[in-house]
Structure 1
Amino acid sequence: MNYEVILFDADGTLFDYDKAEAHALEKAFKYFNFKYKEENELKNYRLINKQIWIDYENGEIDFKNLRIERFKRLFKNYEKKIDFNEFSNIYLSQLADGIFLIDGAEEVCRYLFEKYKIVILTNGIKDVQLSRINNSPLSKYIHDIITSEETGYKKPDVGIFDYTFNRIGHLDKGTTLIIGDSLSSDIRGGINYKIDTCWYNSIHEENNSGLKPNYEIKDLRQLIKLL
C-alpha cells in the first residue's frame, strides 16, 4: 500500500450533504415565504434530487437543466407561480454556506495530509463545492479540488480521472486510492480506471452491485489504521 495520492469524494464522504441539503431547502422556502414542513417538502425533494443525480450520472441530463428541473418536479402541483431559476439560485447560495463535516473528516485529513497528496474529486456543482470546501476546516489539508462541471466528465467516466491525473501531474495508477460513499460513481469509476478503491459505507448498505472495492470502512477514522 505505497500510495502517494488519495482521491476523496466530497458529499457523503467528507461532507454531510444531508444536513447541508436540509439547511438550504428550508432557507430557500423561507426566503420565498413558502410553507415548509420537513416531513413533506424535504422528503419529496430528496426523492426527486436522488433521481436527478442518477439521471446525470447516466448522461440523461446536463448540469444546466439539473439545477432547475428538480424544482420543476418539486413544485409541479404548487399553486403559486414560481421562478425556478431564482429559486435554484437561492437554494444553491444557501447550499454553498452549508458546511457540515462527517465525523472524523478533519482528523483524518489532517493525518493523511502529512503522508499523501489529497485531491477532492466531486460530481457536485463547481461554485457550490468550491465555496463549501474552501471555507471549511479541511481547506488547509486539500491539495486540489476537481469538479465534474469543469472537466466535462463525471464519475464514473474515465475522462474525469484522465483530467485529474494530468492536472496533478501524477501518472502512476498503482499509487492512487479513491475513497467514496457511492458504489456507482466512486467505486465503479475507480475500478474502471484500474486504481484501488475504498468504499465508505457508513450506513451499512448491502453491496449488490457486483463491484468489489479493495477496502470497505464504516467510519472515516478507520483510514488512520488502514493508511
Structure 2
Amino acid sequence: MKNYDIIFFDIDDTLFDFTKSEPEAFNKVFEKYNLFNNLKQYEKSYQEISKVLWRDLENGKMILVELGSERFRRLFLEHELEIDAVVFNQDYLGYLGEQTHLVQGAEKVISELSHKRLAIITNGYTDVQTSRTNNSSLKDKFEHIIISESTGFQKPQTGIFDYAFDKLQITDKSKVLMVGDSLTSDIQGGIDYGIDTCWFNPKHKENNTSLKPTYEINKLESLIEIIK
C-alpha cells in the first residue's frame, strides 16, 4: 500500500448518514407548515426532483444558491401547494444543520487516522455542513472543512481541489487520497485531479461507469488497513 499523508473525506453518506438526516429534516419542516397529509408522496417527489438538480449542479448547469429553493418550487408546483419556496428551503436547511447522524465506523476511522492530515471536501451549504460537523463527535478532527458554497466550485470540478491544495499547502499529489461514496462527484473529481481515490460503496452498487477508483471498500473501517 502507498503511504498517504493527507486524506480528503466527503461528508454526506461517507462520514455522515444522509439517509437518516435528510428524512428527519424533511419531516420536521413539513410538520412546521402543518403538511401532514401526503407526506410520503411529497418525499417521493422531492427525491426525484432533488436527484435531477444535484446532477445538474455537478455538471455545471445550476448553481447551489438556485438549487435550494428550486427543488421546493418544483415540488410545490407539482402538488399545487402555495408556499414560498425560498423561505421553506431556509427552514429546511436549518433543520438539516441539526442532524449529526454518523455512518457506522466513522468515529473509529477518524480516531485511528488522527496521526494523518485529515480534511473534508464536500458539496453543499456552508452553514449546514459546518453546523453538522461542529455539533458532532467529529468536531475539531479536521485540518480544514472545504465546502463548495464557500469556494465557488463543487466536486468534480478541479477548482475545489485547487482550493484544497492551496489551503493545505500540498505539493505532492501522490501523498493524497480522496474518500467518498459518489462516483460522479468524489471519484470523478479525484481522478480528474490526478489523486488516488477510494470509493466507499456500502450498498454494493455496480460501477457502470468508465471510472476506476484506486480502492473500493464496503465498510468504512476497511480504510484503516489501506492507510496503515
Q: Please give the alpha-carbon distance, in whole angstroms, between the structure 2 residues aligned to 1:144 and 1:36.
A: 42
Number of positions where the alignment pairs a residue of Structure 1 with one of Structure 2? 226
Stretches of structure 2 lacking an aligned partner (at least 5 in a row): none
- Equivalence map 1:88-103=2 (5 Å): 88-103=89-104
Name the residue aligned to 2:35. 34
Query: In the TM superposition, what is the alpha-carbon distance from 1:26 to its structure 2 partner?
Result: 0.4
Q: Deviations over 1:49-94 (max 9, x none)?
A: 1111101111111112111000011111334420111111110000
1:67 aligns to 2:68 (yes or no) = yes
Query: In the TM superposition, what is the alpha-carbon distance from 1:178 to its structure 2 partner?
Result: 0.2
What is the RMSD computed on CA atoms of the aligned residues?
Answer: 1.1
Q: What is the TM-score with the length of structure 2 in the denominator?
A: 0.96
State which drifts further: 38-47 or 170-179.
38-47
Name the residue aligned to 2:117. 117
Secondary structure at 2:216 match in 1 = strand
Q: Deviations over 1:7-64 (max 9, x none)?
A: 0000010001111110111000000111255532222211111111101111111112
One-letter amino acid of the counterpart of residue 98, structure 1: Q
Name the residue aligned to 2:105. 104
Q: Please give the alpha-carbon distance, in whole angstroms, between the structure 2 residues aligned to 1:8 and 1:79.
A: 39
Q: What is the TM-score with the length of structure 1 in the denominator?
A: 0.96
Q: Deviations over 1:90-147 (max 9, x none)?
A: 1000000011100000000011112x11000001111100000111101132111001
The share of aligned pairs that are identical, in percent, is 46
Q: Please give the alpha-carbon distance, in whole angstroms, between the structure 2 residues aligned to 1:140 and 1:163.
A: 20
Name the residue aligned to 1:12. 13
Q: Deviations over 1:156-193 (max 9, x none)?
A: 11111111000111111000000000000110111111
Q: Please give the alpha-carbon distance, in whole angstroms, between the structure 2 residues aligned to 1:2 and 1:222.
A: 16
Name the residue aligned to 1:135. 135
Stretches of 4+ aligned residues off by more than 4 angstroms: none
Secondary structure at 2:26 match in 1 = helix
